[in-house]
Structure 1
Amino acid sequence: MTHWRSGTQPLFYPLNPKDPRNLAQKTKDLPSLPKVYQDFYREVTRFLPLQRVFIDPFFTLGYGIDASFYRLIPKVVVKVVNNEEMSAILKIAQTLHTPVTFRCAGTSLSGQALTDSVLLVVQGAWRHYEVHEDGKAISLEPGILGVEANRYLRSYRRKIGPDPASIDHCMIGGIAANNASGMCCGTADNSYKTVQDMQIIFDDGTLLDTANPASCRDFLQSKPDLIRQVELIRDELKADPELTALIKKKYKIKNTTGYSINAFVDFEDPLEIIKHVLIGSEGTLGFISRITYKTVIEHDHKASALIIYPDMDHACRAVMKLNRDLVSAAEMMDRVSLKTMEDEPGMPAYLKTLSETATALLVEVRAENRELLEQRIQDVKLQLESVPTVLPIDFTSVKSEYETYWKIRKGIFPAVGGIREQGTAVIIEDVAFPLERLAEATIDLRSILNKFGYHDAIIYGHALDGNWHFIFTQKFETEEEINQYSGLMKEVNELVVKKYNGSLKAEHGTGRNMAPFVELEWGSKAYQLMRRIKSAFDPHGLLNPGVIINDNKNVYLEDLKMMPQSHETIDRCTNCGFCQDICPSKNLTTTPRMRIILQREISYLKRTGKDLQRLMRLLKDYDYAGNATCATDGLCAKACPLSINTGDNSKYLRSRAITPTTNFLAQRLAKNMNGVTTFMRFGLGAVNAAHSVLGTRVMDKLASKAHRVTKNQIPLWNPWMPGRGSAPRARSGSAAGPLASEKAPSPGTEPLKVVYFPSCISRSMGPARQDKDQRPLHEVMLSILAKAGYEVIVPPNMSNLCCGMPWESKGFFQIADEKSDELEKVLLKASDYGKYPILCDTSPCLYRMRRAFKSGVKLYEPVEFTHDFLMERLKFRQVPETVAVHVTCSSVKMQISDKFKALAESCAEKVIMPDDVHCCGFAGDRGFSFPELNHSALAGLKPSLPKECTSGYSNSRTCEIGLSLHSGISYQSLMYLVDRASSALPL
């Protein structure tokens, strides 16, 4: 058994004066709440910091929205971080009779994570875990992402059973509370089947730990009424053979409609029943504060085939010949599905040639070894040989090839989101049919979709489980549109239940969306048992009311979310929430989803003229919590299915705020870059000298006071502030001298040459006092290039050159482009019009150059250039050290993370690249003005580094400042490590 480990816990900072959570503003907001919520706020803030309790319109709206197509705005939002807090809050809620709803990542699709009362947010905390029995089991708190759980199990070659498509973005709490399944787990490896133990906090704050015998004994004594009700329901159900048979039959296929009443059939022990009925209960029976899963094997060998059948009937006949002993997954996609992806880069050309009825079946097989994998491939082909295909069945075990196939499957939902009419919501429904009737059920489903005008709706899903997802787009602005959706749902539900005895919700949960139809699926007898379950666990009806059990038969048509347009940079957003975890401000202020939600509300209020007071308040609060603390790193686009870069929206908003005066000043600075860099070098030198005289403690106090008094106008000093920078002299290849090349070119060959452009950041900022290597970066670069035999061309007039990135990030787009154009002309000439490659030593600057330059010259980042061109020209030795490596956002976007890793591992014996550290949040100069952003983004850095790690490396000077500050070790350019670990090859 491993020790109890902790992931990042949220850190909370003194509130910025512009933060909408400040006390003065809360005092103004409190009287606007109904009295019961005022009382609730006062009670919880007796023991919780103000930073974690939200009552303002900004944060209640931002946190209130989830991935579903409903909208409810909570009165109070609380970020809860441990069992003690959750228990105390639930006691207060019960005393005040205040409803509460639990929220993890908010990626659920059926409206189960919304409330107009109190929202208790888990995200950002609850990140402890423990691995047991060499990976055969794992205990997880609810704030851990599914992908992180599998990462913890990677070295054991195990994984958790549930594998929802959103596993990279949804959290364990939601996976368990929704009994989320996926493409491979089916009904055998979902949360219900693989749960081993659980910690549960009940409506009155009582905690049950099923792994702790003492806790179980105490619970049995303290909750006799609940135990008695559980036993009565169990006995009544088991005494009813007809109902027992119905339950067993319905759970042979995927089913998340209503409560997991199969727990009362499958188990005798009331604690086992409680544990299993909590799975899929969507926070309506209690809060799962920890779950222990039995894990499953993660096979090393995989192969996939995209099999094309003439029509849906043939594809369904093929599926019926497969089973989970033979294949891991079988995903079906209709022709409309395939059309959404056929124009995407890298897709097979034959997709465009398929008939209108063609249907694809994506099959994956897995095995422990290569021989068994090949055997299973042949077995699959043998099973399917009697069903005609459009193209021969061809399996591939080449990762890049089968990932392309899976890209088709995973890209369908976001593709619909990307091409939908603006202002519409993307709705994904989720049903399951008995596998033997899948073909006819699918034809009937398509007929109903066409009947109600959803001709472009897509049908696809987990065919091996008879589980279809169907996607369509919908507006909810008129009565006619709402009636259209209502009519569709009623007929689909009748079809699924009465004709095919299927599941109305196979894996997405009941929520509000299907609550009115639970009785339709289960019948009145089973439904009444479910109502008794709810009453037994939550007698006051305070836990997530309206979800699963709801007397309002129209709830699925109420509180529908509109998707007003705001700006082209964000209008395609579907609110899925996939962007949240990677955002550096997620635990400080807002996430990309929250920013988009708030911008849509602001745009709607501007356009309609409604509620001017609310509009002005949102605009004021957005200035800090939405704009100033956005790092504009663009990593959200990497996580977003639609590649939406919310940072682009922040830059757009900053451009709209530019005044003629600020534009004039920016132009003056841009035209006098020499003066800017000279001033920066002078200032850094002076500050470094002051630090030497005053010492760190005095310097820190003075700097903090100056930063506070000037309201962030004076950048906040820290002990890792760089010293004065310097720049190399301009040099041509022929005049470079011996420093530029230690090797003479072979006779008759042209010498190797490279243009080296040191960024204005590296020219201005030198090493910090505590940095291990005190040489300026350009000396290190020239040393490496010389050892590799390169002659270096340093362009003239560097002091006035800049890529334009500082201006772009602040919204001065024209000035940024002018600086880029100026730089491109100089570098184009220096490279003999593209004859020689161009090297820039700062990753964000190089990324900007690649986007802005129009000439097509070859531009390289130093890690990339070293990896691609210098590794064979240098002799490397691994220094006997453990080093940390941080890949900057720009390097991630340039897709050179693997090169970072490979180069670092060539230079050091052990390389640490923390999985949970993404953008550092320094964001150019923002780490000086808003240091809390850098602090929040790197909260998990130091805990991720082993004690023996004494140095770190990256490739952006400003990022390295923040990394050094929050790790306590020196971070410098990776080129410093390369220079230490390399030498020239023998002549």
Structure 2
Amino acid sequence: YGDELYDVMRALKRLCDPAGILNPGVIISDDPRAHLADIKPTEQIEEEADRCVECGYCEPVCPSRDLTLTPRQRIVVRRAITRAESAGDDALVDDLERDYGYEAVETCAADGMCVTACPVLINTGTLVKRLRRENQNPVMAAGWNAAAAVWGTTTRAGSAAMKVADVLPPALVKTATTVGRAALGADNVPAYSADLPSGGPARRGLRGLQGARDAAPVALYLPACVNSMFGPAADGVGVGAAFVALAERAGITVIVPDAIESLCCSTPWTSKGYTGGRETMLRRVARAVKDTDPAGTLRVVSDAVSCTEGYAHLLADAGIAATVEDAVTFTAREILPRLEPVPPTMDTLVLHPTCSSTQMGVDADLMTLARAVATNPVIPDDWGCCAFAGDRGMLHPELTASATAAEAAAVATLDGDGHASCNRTCEIGMTRATGKEYRHIIELLYGAVFSDARLELSDPHHDPVGD
């Protein structure tokens, strides 16, 4: 402003605050060394978050912001722990670390939405995954790593367990999981609730050429194991069966690895910090992709967007330079243009984008498919990550309840004829939050295209791809 105007400001300050008690020395200061005083110390912490400037831009998109801590707060407390350690304040360190486990680590969805708002591109979820990795329960880690070795059997067992739970009295199953959680810890044993779906179909019937089958494959299809563990909603056909049927109608061929039942994107191990299981899956997926596509020319497609993101990271870490995209994107670009136009099957379709669909740029394709089945597809203004995060919403249901509260209230005002997303666990989380049945958008497109021929796929307990 120049000396003259600055002197005017100083005079006004003295008139308004002669005692100098309002914000002293912050905006108007006579101290020539003010730039050297009151500098905030910043302790060095883990490299994943050390560059944080504590601006708080991440906070509005964090699913745990109304329950425990935000990304900024997780980092601030991490720095406070480091500062207390340096000062030798063991009591403070113990107090902070005792609460940090639940407040910062257990209730972090690790969804990465914070990176979409962070000006220095910090994904606090990677810090949390590191902390989980460094402080893992050795017994649970051994169990999960062993499960990776027999993942096909594990997914079939998980599906069977959900089918059994679906026919038992809910109170009986809930009591059993409550006892398990009390004995082994809430962060280790999922909580059962009656709104969980039955088990899904096995993936073994999808091996080999799928879709049109009479042409060269244009994609390597990796059906997600989560759709085997959790079956489709109500009378739904499931996204795998829907995708294959639509590909066949469009004259498109895809190929599925023979080892598909034993494959996974590795997200369950990555998110929990269990490195052994992730390495097992990395080697197995890399081998299956190379065996199925020796030339390395096919794009890789999966049908649960968080799994698609997981496969993208997994294959990159394996040194495989494959193009990985979600089934929603593949369907919007390759399948939909080859289908006969169909009349909309509903007016208002409420969409739930996910954290992974946002980060992978799938949301526009989600809307494209929605416009093919509805005249008025809408995304609630208050949408956000549902925080179901694989099994996190079963381990800590309070996290998903808090994360979805605002969006659920918005959904209640929209009077939708249908509700859709692009990830099975997110659909479960939003169904629980709103009381509305969320389905995969590809299932809804299948319903529109095959509205006059539901086939045998309409039976949710029938394996639509064979035994």
Aligned to 2:287: 825
Q: Which residue of 2 aligns with 1:755?
A: 220
Q: Matches of 2:3 and 2:323 in 1, distance apart?
A: 61
Q: Which residue pairs with 2:16 in the alignment?
A: 530
How does 1:543-692 map onto structure 2 within 5 Å?
A: 559-606=38-85, 608-658=86-136, 660-691=138-169
Q: Could you tell me which of 197, 203, 207 is aligned with 1:731?
A: 207
Letter in 1 for 2:81: I
Counterpart pick for 1:741 among 209, 212, 220: 212
Code of the residue aligned with 1:527 in structure 2: it is K
- TM-score of the two chains, using structure 1 as the length reference: 0.42
Measure the CA separation in 1 of the matches of 2:247 and 2:206: 16
Q: How far did 1:808 drift?
A: 0.5
| Aligned with 1:977 (options 430, 440, 444) | 444
Match of 2:398 among 932, 936, 959: 932
2:63–2:387 Cα contact (<8 Å) kept: yes
Note the alpha carbon deviations across 1:94-113, whole angstroms, 9 max, x for none. Answer: xxxxxxxxxxxxxxxxxxxx
**Shift of residue 981, structure 1, vs aligned partner:** 2.5
Q: Which residue of 1 aligns with 2:367?
A: 901
Structure 2 SS opposite 1:685: helix
Contact 1:843 1:861 in 2 (8 A): yes
Contact 1:731 1:792 in 2 (8 A): no
Query: Matches of 2:294 and 2:281 in 1, distance apart?
Result: 20
Structure 2: gaps of 5 or more residues:
452-467
Aligned to 1:957: 424
- 8 Å Cα contact 1:844-1:890 kept in structure 2: yes
CA 1:730 to 1:943, structure 2 compared with 1: closer, same or farther past 3 Å?
closer
Q: Does the 8 A contact of 1:703 with 1:716 survive in 2? A: no
Alpha-carbon distance between aligned partners in 2 of 1:670 and 1:700, rounded to the nearest angstrom: 25
Match of residue 802 from structure 1: 264
Secondary structure of 1:647's partner? helix
Change (3 A) 1:547 1:664: same
For structure 1, the residue ranges without an aligned partner over 5 or more in a row are 1-432, 434-495, 503-519, 536-540, 745-749
State the TM-score, normalized to the length of structure 2.
0.86
Between the aligned partners of 1:895 and 1:975, the Cα distance in structure 2 is 17
Tell me the amino acid that sits aligned with residue 851 of structure 1: H
Which structure carries more relative contact order (alpha carbon 8 Å, separation 6+)?
A: 2
Change (3 A) 1:723 1:640: same
Displacement after TM superposition at 1:828 (Å): 2.6
Q: What is the CA-CA distance between 1:578 and the residue it aligns to? A: 0.9
Check the 8 A contact 1:917/1:937 in 2, yes or no. Answer: no
| Aligned residue in 1 for 2:324 | 859
Q: Deviations over 1:318-356 (max 9, x none)?
A: xxxxxxxxxxxxxxxxxxxxxxxxxxxxxxxxxxxxxxx
Cα displacement (A) at 1:924: 1.0
Using the TM superposition, give the Cα deviation of residue 618 of structure 1 relative to its aligned residue in structure 2, in angstroms.
0.8
Question: Which residue identity lines up with residue 522 of structure 1 in the other structure?
Answer: M
In structure 2, distance between residues paired with 1:975 and 1:564? 48
Change (3 A) 1:967 1:717: same
Q: Secondary structure at the match of 2:59?
A: coil
Contact 2:181-2:190 within 8 A present in 1 as well: no
Shift of 1:916: 2.1
2:250 and 2:216 map into 1 onto residues whose CA distance is: 11
Residues 609 and 781 (structure 1 numbering): CA distance in 2 closer, same or farther, change over 3 Å?
same
Change (3 A) 1:661 1:720: closer
- What is the aligned residue count? 442
**8 Å contact from structure 1 (residues 569, 645) kept in 2:** yes
Mapped contact 2:388–2:426 kept (Cα < 8 A): yes
Deviation at 1:699, TM superposition (A): 6.6
Q: How does 1:147-162 map to 2 (within 5 A)?
A: none
Match of 1:911 in 2: 377
Q: Counterpart in 2 of 1:813? A: 275
Alignment of 1:776 onto 2:262: no
- The alignment partner of 1:965 has SS state of helix
The structural deviation recorded for 1:865 is 0.4
Q: 1:648 to 1:523 in 2, by over 3 A?
A: closer
**Aligned to 2:61, what secondary structure does the other structure show?**
coil
Deviations 1:617-665 (A, max 9, x none): 1111100001111111111111111111110000111111135544433
Residue aligning to 1:766: 231
Task: Tell me the alpha carbon deviations over residues 658-709 of structure 1, each in whole angstroms, 9 at most, x when there is no partner.
Answer: 3554443332111011232122112111111114xx5xxx579747955774
One-letter amino acid of the counterpart of residue 764, structure 1: M
Q: Distance in 2 between matches of 1:765 and 1:621?
A: 33
Q: Which residues of 2 match residues 836-855 of structure 1 at below 5 A?
A: 836-853=298-315, 854-855=319-320
- Corresponding position of 2:458: none
Instruction: Rate the CA distance shift 1:886–1:552 in 2: closer, same or farther, 3 A.
Output: same
Q: 1:522 to 1:686 in 2, by over 3 A?
A: same
Correspondence 1:427-446 to 2 at 5 A:
433=1
Matches within 5 A, 1:147-546: 433=1, 496-498=2-4, 501=5, 520-524=7-11, 526-531=12-17
Cα displacement (A) at 1:887: 1.4
RMSD: 2.9
Structure 2 Cα separation of the partners of residues 623 and 979 of structure 1: 44
Change (3 A) 1:549 1:825: closer
Q: What percentage of residue pairs aligned between the two structures are identical?
A: 28
Residue 794 (structure 1) shift: 2.4
8 Å Cα contact 1:874-1:983 kept in structure 2:
no
Choose which of 336, 341, 349 in structure 2 pairs with 1:883: 349
> Could you tell me which residue of structure 2 aligns to residue 790 of structure 1?
252
Do 2:133 and 2:275's aligned partners in 1 also have CA atoms closer than 8 Å? yes
Shift of 1:967: 1.2
Instruction: Kindly indicate which of the two structures has a greater share of residues assigned to strand.
Output: 1
Deviations 1:291-329 (A, max 9, x none): xxxxxxxxxxxxxxxxxxxxxxxxxxxxxxxxxxxxxxx
The question of whether the paired residues in 1 share the 8 Å contact of 2:48 and 2:124 is answered with: yes
Any idea what SS the aligned residue of 1:723 has?
Answer: coil
CA distance in 2, matches of 1:801, 1:704: 27
CA distance 1:983–1:661, change in 2 (3 Å): closer
Q: Distance in 2 between matches of 1:901 and 1:666?
A: 36
Query: 1:867–1:667: structure 2 CA closer, same or farther, 3 Å change rule?
Result: same
Q: 1:752, 1:676 → 2: CA distance? A: 29
Q: Distance in 2 between matches of 1:902 and 1:911?
A: 9
Larger radius of gyration: 1
Question: In the aligned structure 2, how far is the partner of 1:893 from the partner of 1:805?
Answer: 16
Per the TM alignment, residue 973 of structure 1 is displaced from its structure 2 partner at its CA by 1.1
Query: Do the aligned partners of residues 978 and 612 (structure 1) sit closer, same or farther apart at CA in structure 2, a change above 3 Å counting?
Result: same
Structure 2 match to 1:334:
none
Q: Secondary structure at the match of 1:920?
A: coil
Q: Distance in 2 between matches of 1:929 and 1:870?
A: 37
Matched-pair contact (CA < 8 Å) for 1:920–1:934: yes
In structure 2, the residue matched to 1:474 is none
Quick check: 1:787–1:983 contact (8 Å CA) kept in 2? no
| CA distance in 2: counterparts of 1:622 and 1:861, whole angstroms | 35
Residues 389 and 426 in structure 2, CA contact (< 8 A), matched pair in contact too: yes
Distance 1:876 1:634 in 2: 37
For residue 949 of structure 1, give the secondary structure of its aligned residue in structure 2.
coil
